[in-house]
Amino acid sequence: MAVQSTIWFGYGVATDNVTVMLPNAVGLVLGTGYTWVFHQHYKVGPKKALLQQYAVAASILVFVCAGVWVLPPPRSTSFLGFVAASGSVIFAFSPLAAVVTVFRQQSVASMPLKTSCILFCNGSLWTLYGTLVAQDPAIWVPNVLGTFGGSLQLVIHAFFALRSTTTHRATYDTLNTDTDASSPRGFASVIDTTLRRGGGCRGGREMMLGWRACLCIAAAFASLLACLVTCARGWLTALYYTALSQGRYAQVVVGPAGSGKSTFCFTMQNYMASLAYRLQPLVVNLDPGQERSEEEEKKHPFDLDVRDLISVSDVLEELDFGPNGALVFAMEHLVENMEWLKEGMDEIGGSDDEYFIFDCPGQIELYTHIPVLRTVVENLMSWNIHVCVVHVIDALFIDDTAKFISGSLLALTAMMQLKAPSINVITKCDVKKESFGGGRKRKQRARPLPLALTKRLAETESGESEEGEKSGGSVEAMFRALDLQERQANRAAAGGGNDELEQEKGEEDGVDSDSDGSERGAFLDVDDPEYFNPDSVSLKASLEDSSMSPKFRALSDSICDLLDSYNLVHFLPLDITSEDSVELVVLHIDNATQYGEDLEPRDPRDQDDAEDDEAANVFLNPGP
Ligand SMILES: Nc1nc2c(ncn2[C@@H]2O[C@H](COP(=O)(O)OP(=O)(O)OP(=O)(O)O)[C@@H](O)[C@H]2O)c(=O)[nH]1
């Protein structure tokens, strides 16, 4: 009991479930107490015999701790739940081991009725809690089995009680031939007679027990039926949603205020609708503070709008909150009413391969500080929807290195907090293009010297040294080559040419070096994704010019290195005026959601319609 309660207590802590934690904490204390009392009063044999059982209990705990320690968090919780559930199943069925004894002795003395009743009630209640409240299979699966085990024991009790009732009824029928024991009144009189006759006292009690056992069985079966119906309802609902939402997809568009989320949503909607093989996605507004002109609402209406449930203006009218507090309140209200969203999506969806795009509020604290958006995303995924989080930031972010670093960290936070496949998009690249006349010169990046060149240089250097110092000379030459390479990198990163350095390493290596530097300072179009994903060397070089304090500079350098070495954040540019650019983003999202892998083949839409759509070139004018 102590071990079992410890494991369940651990599971309660891991899942942050106080309802599981509390009773098991009590069970842990009581179980330890019972063990101590048992140990003190154990007289059956030498107390050493108990050591073996303590060793088994300790080994189970060590095994569980090792599993939790070795496995990463989500798996360790599942492991803990699995072990706890297995223990509960064994615990629930353990009294059944006495069944053999019961049938051998033809008596239920070795299987106490109270324990069976408690086992049954405990199993039923936890089953109801596990299916209706926690919806956790680790809780309801062992308890369904526990309920079954408990009811089986009650049936055995009833069987023996009824049998003894029948035996005694037959006895007293022969003793009271003048009494009709088949009628209730007659049966009561038999019991009365029996109780008055001293020798028949035991038989009368057993008959009473028989009636009580019948009631017990009726109650047990009613509860068992209720449990099974509840579980069946849960399973059927889950099956229904699995079947219904097979192939459902969603983009959850998040990002700072004004970064172009709504524009992105409608650009996606228009582009996807223009493709013959796709359904038009449905845009769902999740921003209770969304403010749009009537014209915008007409041009790009939302298919489902959270403002129908609650809006920031409603909250401001009713409660004494500021705008930010009102938004947080409204979002928390949405989280508490996710059924509204589910029903709304089913209503507007209808097809089994529906595609949703969620336009989220621009307050980044909804995913950086509080888990509101995370709960929304988790709910969507629990409804078997393939979700891709699209984190958008404004192209202005990339002009300033410090801003770029903070944008990267924000994107990283979104990826970590929302715990779903994600892509990062830089919006408004069309504006960027205009301001740079279509592109800009790439900052020179550090490029390593070709290996052959480095080797050659080392050989040249070592050749100049004395024969006897050849090996040492090689090493020195290698360092000089590396030094040259580093100087080249630094100069390159600072935007300067490497002409003198190239000359310094000699022209005999045969490597071209353009006098105008066009090869190194290549013209990079904003459509080139590399433009938006500078490496740490370029970022650090650009920080050199800034007037940052040394400590802050060191911190920024470390962040740049971290982002670069682990390749943590990758940005995709989006120019809404370019079909190729939109298509590239859609391809990445499809890849993240594995779009189309479980879709049923469907008739392509009428080609003429698609051509009409393309002619209208709808995605080129998506502004909300
Ligand atoms: N040229 C251009 N303008 C854009 C683009 N994306 C957004 N905008 C403009 O940027 C402004 C803000 O865009 P929204 O789509 O409303 O941004 P949002 O992130 O939804 O804003 P909030 O809902 O207030 O957080 C609007 O005036 C848009 O027209 C883009 O890709 N190109």
Cα–Cα distance measured from residue 326 to residue 287, given in angstroms and rounded to the nearest whole number: 12
Residue owning the nearest CA to atom 21 of ligand 1? 258
The rounded distance, in Å, linking the Cα atoms of 487 and 460 is 19
Among candidate residues 184, 210, 242, the one where a domain is terminated: 242
Confidence of residue 285 (pLDDT cuts 50, 70, 90): very high
The answer to the question of residue 25 being in a domain is no
Of the chain, the percentage scoring pLDDT greater than 70 comes to 64
Q: Could you tell me which residues come within 8 angstroms of residue 8 by beta carbon, excluding any fewer than 6 positions away?
A: 20, 24, 27, 84, 87, 88
Whether 378 and 285 map to the same domain: the answer is: yes
Residue nearest to atom 30 of ligand 1 (CA): 428
Which atom, in ligand 1's list, is nearest to the CA of 574?
A: 31
In a domain, 548, yes or no: no
Integer Cα distance of 270 and 614 in angstroms: 10
The Cβ of residue 277 has, within 10 Å, a number of other Cβ atoms equal to: 13
Q: Is the pLDDT of residue 86 over 50?
A: yes
In the Cβ-directed half-sphere of 373, how many Cα atoms lie within 13 Å? 32
Give the per-residue pLDDT at 70: 85
Tokens 């650090």 found at:
540
Binding site membership of 262 for ligand 1 (Cβ less than 6 Å): yes
- Whether the pLDDT of residue 507 is over 50: the answer is no
Task: Look at residue 44 and tell me if it is in a domain.
Answer: no
Over the stretch 292-323, which tens digit does the pLDDT of each residue have? 888 888 888 999 999 999 999 989 988 888 88
- pLDDT of residue 624 exceeding 90: no
Round to whole Å and give the CA distance between 325 and 320. 9
Q: Do 103 and 214 fall into the same domain? A: yes
Q: Whose CA is nearest to atom 2 of ligand 1?
A: 428
Residues 250 and 237 occupy one common structural domain = no
**166 lies in a domain?**
yes
pLDDT of residue 109: 77
Best-predicted range by mean pLDDT (222-226, 393-397, 532-536): 393-397
According to the model, what pLDDT value does residue 588 have?
92
Residue 254 is which amino acid? V
The verdict on 84 and 164 lying in the same domain is: yes
Whether residue 8 lies inside any domain: the answer is no
How much is the average pLDDT of 399-410?
A: 83
Handedness of CA 73, 75, 79, 82 (dihedral sign): positive
Cα 427 to ligand 1 centre (Å): 9
We report the CATH number of the domain holding residue 349 as 3.40.50.300
Lowest mean pLDDT among 203-217, 373-387, 523-537: 203-217
My answer on whether 339 and 272 are in the same domain is: yes
Same domain flag for 287 and 420? yes
Residue 572 has pLDDT above 70, yes or no: yes
Q: How confident is the model at residue 387 (pLDDT cuts 50, 70, 90)?
A: very high
pLDDT for the residue numbered 312: 92
Q: Please give the structure tokens belonging to residue 285.
A: 């507004």
**Domain containing 272: what range?**
245-442+570-620
DSSP per residue over 298-337, as a string?
HHS--SEEGGGT--HHHHHHHS---HHHHHHHHHHHHHHT
Identify the residue whose C-alpha is closest to ligand 1 atom 6.
260
Probe target for ligand 1 pocket from 262, 312, 360, 365, with the most ligand atoms within 8 Å of CB = 262
- pLDDT of 281 > 60? The answer is yes
Ligand 1 centroid – CA 258 distance (Å): 5
d(CA 300, CA 623): 9
| Cβ of residue 581 lying under 6 Å from some atom of ligand 1 | no
Highest mean pLDDT among 108-122, 438-452, 516-530, 590-604: 108-122
- What is the CA 510 to chain-centroid distance, rounded? 56
Q: Which amino acid is at 549?
A: S
Q: Is 408 in the pocket of ligand 1 (CB under 6 A)?
A: no
Q: Of the residues 183, 213, 242, which one is the last residue of a structural domain?
A: 242
Which of 65-69, 98-102, 217-221, 438-442: highest mean pLDDT? 65-69
pTM more than 0.90: no
> Which of 263, 264, 311 gets mutated to test ligand 1 (max ligand atoms within 8 A of its CB)?
263
In this structure, are 151 and 185 located in the same domain? Answer: yes
Residue 66 covered by a domain: no
The closest residue, in CA terms, to atom 9 on ligand 1 is 260
Residues 184 and 296 in one domain: no
Q: According to the model, what pLDDT value does residue 518 have?
A: 38
In terms of domains, do 268 and 413 share one?
yes
CA 155 to chain centre: 43
Domain-terminating residue out of 242, 259, 277: 242
pLDDT value for 602: 47
3-state secondary structure of 576: coil
User: What does the block give as tokens for 408?
Assistant: 């990267």
Q: Is residue 560 part of a domain?
A: no
In the chain, the amino acid numbered 382 is S
Residue 459 lies in a domain: yes
The pLDDT of residue 467: 42
pLDDT in tens, 13-55: 888 888 888 888 898 899 888 888 888 888 777 777 788 888 8
Please provide the DSSP assignment of 465-531 as one string: S-GGGHHHHHHHHHHHHHHHHHHHHHHHHTT---HHHHHHT-GGG-----TT-TTTT-EEETTSGGG
Are both 227 and 258 inside the same structural domain?
Answer: no
Chain centroid offset of residue 211 CA: 52
Q: Is the pLDDT of residue 201 over 50?
A: no
Looking at residue 171, its pLDDT comes to: 53
527 Cβ inside 6 Å of ligand 1: no
Q: With a cut of 50, say whether residue 461 has pLDDT above it.
A: no
* CB-count exposure of residue 391 (10 Å: 0-12, 13-18, 19+): buried
pLDDT at position 233 over 90: no
Cβ of 362 below 6 Å from ligand 1 = yes
Question: Which residues are registered as beta bridge partners of 390?
Answer: 253, 423
Instruction: Give tens-digit pLDDT for 161-193.
Output: 777 655 555 555 555 555 554 555 554 554 455
Looking at every residue in the chain, the average pLDDT score rounds to 73
Strongest mean pLDDT among 90-104, 144-158, 298-312: 298-312
The answer on 301 and 175 residing in a single domain is: no
Same domain, 293 and 424: yes
> What does the pLDDT read at residue 318?
86
| pLDDT at site 146 | 82
More confident residue, 306 or 564: 306
| Alpha-carbon dihedral 351, 357, 363, 366, rounded to 10 degrees | 40
- Residue 431: CB within 6 Å of ligand 1? yes
Total domains present in the chain: 3
Residue entry with tokens 């070139």:
617
What average pLDDT does range 81-98 have in this prediction?
80
pLDDT of residue 84: 87
* Range of weakest confidence among 34-38, 252-256, 372-376: 34-38
